A and B are shown apart, each in its own frame.
Chain A
Amino acid sequence: MREKQLSEPICGRCTSDGLLMEADVALLELHRQAGGEDGGILALPALRALCESSAALGMKLARTIQVSDERCDHRLLVETAPDQESVTIRITGWQERERDDALLETPRFRLDMSDHQPGMKLQLDAALRVLAISGALPNTRIGQPDIGQALNQWAQLQTAPPASFPLLEAVAERQAFKAQAAKVNGCAVMLAGQPLLSGKGEFSGYLCQIAEASVTPGQAEAPPSPTQLVTPNLKQPLSRIIANAETIHGRLRGPLRENYASYARDIASAARHLRDLVEDFGDLETVEHPGFRLDVERIDCCELARRAAGLLAVRAADHGIAIQTPGEVDSLAATGEYKRVLQIVVNLIGNAVNYSPDGTIVTVDAAIIDGNPAIIVQDQGDGIAEENREHVFEKFERLGRSADGGSGLGLYISRRFARAMGGDLMVDGSEVGARFVLILPPA
């Protein structure tokens, strides 16, 4: 290992989406050696991921990262500081280490990529250069990269909403990635990859699967819908209105006439209603989009039940309602998208808290039902009449309850999410209260 003598930091600056704006000579040389162009996208994936993280978090980061050029690996001590439009880079330590290419050249290290999955597979080294290719895509315009060519020289990586590069984030964390959109000779492709470890246990690259993107070019580049544009811009001011109105209502800034305090409470309540509606309409558009799909993973129903209950514990306690959850050591594996399952269970518990008398108990449990894992939410309210049990899942169905501020979309959206994950959401008969059952596919 060699230490580079740094008498002062090596500095640079890039835009928040990774365009190198300026750099000291040593950094610029490294960028060029890695295939980058002056003023182009920073060609050092780990450094670029760090800058993008710093911009996304709006925070100063300081990390040791590893980048590679044709000759060797470099371990850099890097500090980043974001401002409005750019990220400042400051390198305070620089070690160069010869790459152990012998390991990569050993024939047995080459992976057997001869399975029969469709599409093209690439084996990439730690610098994302192509080591081996198997298969080809039906679209001959896409062609194949050259051995030794950097992936980003062959395929132009595209951002995924919201402005992220799944591949770069994965490289920074040495994780698997999927749904990295890219263009090759103007054709849209999708990349997914699994990290590879060398015999020393060190990260040594990726086994990357390439497939043609299933959407038409027109769909891929469709502009965001009005709801997508409006939702985030509405939620923030609404949250501010709610916070300020609650401050006034709570007389936190001093005494206030009763009727004015009451107006403030009404404003907070109306704004909260409006914010919930905005969120529901955003979700509604998501579930009704033709290309809607969920990224499922292995989840723990008991952990999810406990977390959802925790989020609503304060609200329930205000009404003297206790939420019973599975024990700390309980566990029940299932398959689903964590965030969406949590959203469903929070919606179910929220409904249960809303429609239960004060001082009652809401039970959240996890169990196997007909061979499938399930999360069950049961309350001690009035329950749902048998003839209405399917209607509650219909769009805008309120069962005559109009005073609670709901949109009538929560259960409709929840069932759509559940079915998109291969499960279902049902309400069944119960002696006391309503009993909702969220079925999920087994892990």
Chain B
Amino acid sequence: MIVSDGQRPLEHPLREAERIEREQPALQADLAARLFPRSQIALEDATVASARAILFTLVNAIEADLTGEEPGLSWPIIERSRLLDHPPLFRFLMAHAAWLRLGQRLPAPLWQRSNVWLSGHIDDDDELLSESIFSLLSARSRTVEERLSGRYDLPAPIFRHLVRQIDAALLSSDKADPHRAHDVATLLAAHDEAAGLPYLSARLAVQLARDENFEELRDPVHAGLDLFAGYLASELGCSWHDVVLMLGEGGARLMLLLRAAAFRRSEAQGIADLLSPTDRVPDLTHYKEVSKKAARALIAATGSGFGDA
């Protein structure tokens, strides 16, 4: 065995060459999928890179929780074995990648206004409202790694799938210690959808809408992106992640989303300019010609695979 500088054993060149040869068909398939995508929508390299970074961070965070040690065992196995080939997970990754990129377009300093506004209500007589505000503000102050992985925002079935597959990967790793710091059941029982941005945002949006804070809720800068998405999700009866996906992609679906929520054209233009990628700012020339009812029906029928709030 050849050993690198005290880190990981290196593959023997003969073995490596054999493996490279064996992987040629898979490599060609990957190339073919990139050259001839099945979807007419081109998948941007940035989305793929973000999805990979999110998944890598998620897998390592969960592995660290399971083993109580420095992670790194399960990722290579997962990469080789397609253990995480799970459509709802991919849908989450796309939505969370969109969420991270939206955050880059609307940087955190702009959210200060939202934090100040919400903090002003934190001593409200309505204890439930205070609790919701406090929970959302706490969720906004998570660490960079927690925000990157989105682990607290994962719908429970997806989190369960991830934990179980990572546990399986660890079992098949010859260095794994089955005497885990936490067993799988404990980790699953600790996951709480009510602590995730999708539910917290929808819940607070409903409470603030009851007190007619519509002007603030309908402004992404004033409300904050999470609460703005929560307001749209509760208003239109669709999932928070689906709203985030549409906000992030810009173009026709963003226009329909805004139309369905009855934004005036000038308001919609402002939001579209603020949130859309520069090459996907929707053309609102025919905004008023789109029936609000038809837009609502289409948005409500968005096939969510999330099952979240």
Contacts and interface: CB of A to CB of B under 8 A. Distances in A.
Contacts of B22: 322, 361
Given A60-B191, A60-B194, A314-B81, A5 B210 contact: yes
A209 to B, nearest CB: 24
Given A310-B81, A329-B36, A173 B210 contact: no
A244 B178 contact: yes
Interface in B120-148: 126-128, 132
Contacts of B206: 3, 77, 93, 95
A62 B307 contact: no
Contact of B85 (A57, A244, A307, A361): A307
Interface stretch (A6-14, A397-405, A431-439): A6-14
A311 interface: yes
Contacts, number: 131
A79 B196 CA distance: 12
Given A58-B189, A327-B32, A63 B199 contact: yes
Given A8-B128, A200-B297, A243-B178, A63 B193 contact: yes
A72 interface: no
Given A92-B132, A202-B300, A314 B77 contact: yes
Interface residues of B, number: 60
A7 B127 contact: yes
Interface string A62-101: 1110000000000101010100000000001101000000
Contacts of B128: 6-9, 92
B64 to A, nearest CB: 18
Nearest to A310: B82
Interface stretch (B43-51, B169-177, B214-222, B282-290): B169-177
Contacts of B171: 243
Contacts of B38: 329
B194 A328 contact: no
A247 B301 CA distance: 50
Given A6-B128, A328-B29, A59 B203 contact: no
Interface in A318-370: 320, 322, 324-325, 327-329, 359, 361
A252 interface: yes
Contacts of A93: 202-203, 206-207
A57 B156 contact: yes
Contacts of A310: 81-83, 85
Interface in B165-207: 171-172, 174-179, 185, 188-189, 191-194, 196, 199, 202-203, 206-207
Contacts of B297: 200-202
A57 B36 contact: no
B16 to A, nearest CB: 13
A59 B18 contact: no
Contacts of A244: 178
Contacts of A183: none
A299 interface: no
Interface residues of A, number: 49
A36 interface: no
B85 A64 contact: no
A64 B234 contact: yes
B17 interface: no
B296 interface: yes
Most chain B CB neighbours (cut-off 10 Å) among A8, A58, A244, A246: A58
A234 interface: no
A62 B29 contact: no
Nearest to B204: A93
A201 B160 contact: no
A252 B178 CA distance: 9
A145 interface: no
A176 interface: no
A254 to B, nearest CB: 11
Interface in A1-33: 3, 5-9
Nearest to B22: A322
A170 interface: no
A324 B301 contact: no
B80 A200 contact: no
B178 A77 contact: no
B13 interface: no
B209 interface: yes
A322 B126 CA distance: 63
B107 interface: no
A61 interface: yes
B30 A63 contact: no
A382 B249 CA distance: 54
B80 A314 contact: yes
A77 B309 contact: yes
A306 interface: yes
Interface string B141-164: 000000000000000110110000
B41 interface: no
B308 interface: yes
Contacts of B26: 325
B194 to A, nearest CB: 4
Contacts of A137: none
Nearest to A79: B194
B298 interface: yes
B32 to A, nearest CB: 6
A78 to B, nearest CB: 9
B194 A62 contact: yes
A54 B85 CA distance: 24
Nearest to A3: B210
B25 interface: yes
A306 B82 contact: yes
Nearest to B23: A322
Contacts of B192: 60, 62, 81
A313 interface: yes
A250 interface: yes
Contacts of A95: 206, 234
Contacts of B28: 327
Contact of B301 (A6, A9, A201): A201
Interface of B: 18, 22, 25-26, 28-30, 32-33, 36, 38, 77, 80-83, 85, 126-128, 132, 156-157, 159-160, 171-172, 174-179, 185, 188-189, 191-194, 196, 199, 202-203, 206-207, 209-210, 233-234, 237, 293, 296-298, 300-301, 307-309
8 contacts: A60-B193, A62-B193, A77-B202, A77-B203, A92-B128, A306-B82, A314-B80, A327-B25
Given A57-B160, A58-B188, A75-B234, 5 more contacts: A6-B128, A59-B193, A77-B206, A307-B82, A328-B30
10 nearest A-B pairs in the assembled complex, by CB-CB distance: A3-B210, A310-B82, A62-B194, A201-B297, A62-B193, A322-B22, A62-B199, A93-B206, A327-B29, A328-B29
